[in-house]
Chain A
Amino acid sequence: MSIIPQLLLNGIIAGGIYALVALGYSLVFGVLRFINFAHGELFMIGAYIGWVFNIVFGVNILIAILMSIIITIGVSFLIERFVYQKLYTKGLMPPIIASFGVSIFLQALILMIFGAQIKTYRTGEIQPGISLPGGMIITKIQIVIIAVSIVLMIALFLYLKYTKTGKAMRAVSNNYQVALIMGINNKTIISYIFAIGAGLAAIGGVLVGIEQNLTPTMGVMIGIKALVATVVGGLGNIRGAVMGGFTIGIIENIGIAWLPSGYKDAIAFGILILMLIFRPTGLLGRKTEEEIRI
């Protein structure tokens, strides 16, 4: 029996999560030309907060997810207000170096509060997967992951397309200064954008936390992969982020059919570097060459 269909399915599951996190990068980059390297840590914090409410306080999982979203957005808001906002105007490097600092700080904070031991949402027995035709096996939570990520992406597109705030976000992203002249409060819009990114990351965090386990470094690899997905899809492009997420998820999972599985991460970076050399605007990028190349 071929293993390829199962790998493809795993790729789609991973891709859904990458896409959710990648949307946060892309939304922020579209407006600020800034990559928040601490975005993966918001994902991790979301997972831990959900765990605290669900397992420690014994709250229903849906309420735990809601609390996780709210608190993660709060954390993201504080970081944006007190760290990044003061650094945007200082050039390219300061906000990015600061985001590295924030990333390490949040990891260390969680490490101090919860320790390095693996935490898990699982309480009962391990549920067997459901067999699908073609020899594929999928668990219930994996179905939820695919469904939730697709629903959230469609909701985000509709939000950006039809609501007033969504339109304002696109305006700010398209031309910051003209949006300002048109009476849009850019600072508020930027806060909203960070909030959406943080919320999506928190949901992704809880879902992955339920499927796998929680560790203080769980956000690092997902954050980096989602960044790769964002670049592959085209930085600042919302559709591109989704496409990049699924592309990276599927390619790296199918790739391990031929390469040792440890190289799974290296596959993603290989794609990233080839992409940046030959097509730096990404699959769906809209920026001109001038902004990228010297």
Chain B
Amino acid sequence: MSYFANILVFICIYGILAISLNLTIGFAGIFNLTHAAFFGIGAYTSALLTLTGVPFWLSFICAFLIAAIFGFLISLPATRLKGIYLAIVTFGFAEIIIAVMKNWQGLTRGPLGLPGIPKASLFGFKFASTWEFFVLAAVVLIITYVIISKIVNSPFGRTMRAIRDDEIAAKALGKNVMKYKSYAMLIGAGFAGIAGSLFAHYITFIDPSSFTLTELILMLSMIVVGGIASVPGALLGAAILVILPEPLRFLYLPSSIVAAIRQMLFSGILIAMLLFKPNGILGERRLLLKKNAKSSWFIKKLWRG
């Protein structure tokens, strides 16, 4: 039975990641390709702190704070650029963070990874079994879900969406565009950090390969499948993409083949969704279709001039 609990724990972790990625990409319109690296920063922060004896709850909070600080710092130069340049700069930051994880051997042990991370424990209670850990992960997921839903429906979130849809108009109305974008990055990165903390204390081993581009593409697939700019959509996308490759386990193929099929499966789904249903299952279609029937998702036109 702990097999099902294992799947549920991963749905929770990826749900948090997808919801927070959707906050930056879907709601704030920032093409954020650093998300997997924030996930890694959270995981390493939490793991390193607990390994030096800090209690779990404190390192969990630190994972949020450190990842959020990185998100904020990266947003400072990044949100001053736009379009493709923003994508490239966030991509570059992600690669630098991975390079530091791989090479700062004194701290992270590089590609060897950090083994023996203690299981999560709270006020003397140890989340030892998978089901117990699932309860913890589910609580964190629910808190994330509620907070981000509140944020996107608050005046703050509506301003964020206004900036995404028409930056110049929002500026003309006196909104501080940089501030909103920086906060979106900060919050998104912070939640990726706590997902990282959960991941580290669940698997009890981390290495830099868990936070690379492939992982980012998996998160992107989740929000594209579930629906850009939709909080329940992101969670649904995470659940679908975690469950879908599971039957492959029972085919008893060599593990390298299974990994390849799994990657082909989710990249194939990603491409198919973009081609045939770009708003995803629960995307913000109703809102955007009425006004702009042609350009249903991001309203920027490609052809200039």
Q: Which A residues are closer than 8 A to B by beta carbons?
A: 29, 32-35, 83, 86-94, 96-98, 100-105, 107-109, 111-112, 115-116, 175-177, 220, 224, 227-228, 231, 235, 260, 262-263, 265-266, 269-270, 272-273, 276-277, 280, 291-294
Query: Could you say which of A91, A102, A105, A108 contacts B297, with CB atoms under 8 Å apart?
Result: A91
| Whole-angstrom CA separation of A96 from B31 in the bound complex | 10
Q: Is the CB of B256 within 8 A of A111?
A: yes
Which single residue of chain B is at the shortest CB-CB distance from A221?
B95
Q: Is the CB of B267 within 8 A of A105?
A: yes
Q: Which stretch, B56-64, B78-86, B122-130, touches the partner chain A?
A: B78-86
| Whole-angstrom CA separation of A266 from B97 in the bound complex | 8
Q: Is the CB of B217 within 8 A of A104?
A: yes
| Whole-angstrom CA separation of A94 from B299 in the bound complex | 12
Q: Is the CB of A104 within 8 A of B263?
A: yes
Chain A residues with CB under 8 Å of B213's CB are 100, 220
With A111-B256, A276-B85, A292-B85 as known contacts, state yes or no: A89 contacts B99, CB within 8 Å.
no
- A sample of 20 cross-chain residue pairs with beta-carbon separation below 8 angstroms, ordered by A number, consists of A33-B304, A34-B84, A91-B299, A92-B31, A93-B297, A96-B87, A98-B270, A98-B271, A105-B271, A108-B267, A177-B303, A177-B305, A262-B103, A263-B103, A269-B92, A269-B95, A270-B96, A276-B88, A277-B89, A293-B80
Interchain nearest-CB distance for B105 vs A (Å): 9
Interchain nearest-CB distance for A178 vs B (Å): 8
Chain B residues with CB under 8 Å of A92's CB are 31, 83-84, 87, 298, 300, 302
Query: Could you say which of A33, A86, A96, A111 contacts B260, with CB atoms under 8 Å apart?
Result: A111
Q: Which B residues are closer than 8 A to A by beta carbons?
A: 25, 31, 77, 79-85, 87-89, 91-93, 95-96, 99-100, 102-103, 110, 167, 177-178, 213-214, 216-217, 220-221, 224, 256-257, 259-264, 266-268, 270-271, 274-275, 278, 295-305
**What's the dominant secondary structure at chain B's contact region?**
helix
Interchain nearest-CB distance for A292 vs B (Å): 5
Q: Is the CB of B261 within 8 A of A262?
A: no
The number of inter-chain residue pairs (CB within 8 angstroms) is: 175
Which single residue of chain B is at the shortest CB-CB distance from A235?
B84
| Whole-angstrom CA separation of A34 from B163 in the bound complex | 23
| Whole-angstrom CA separation of A100 from B224 in the bound complex | 13
Chain B residues with CB under 8 Å of A176's CB are 303, 305
| Whole-angstrom CA separation of A88 from B299 in the bound complex | 13
Chain A residues with CB under 8 Å of B96's CB are 266, 269-270, 273
| Whole-angstrom CA separation of A98 from B167 in the bound complex | 25
Interchain nearest-CB distance for A107 vs B (Å): 7
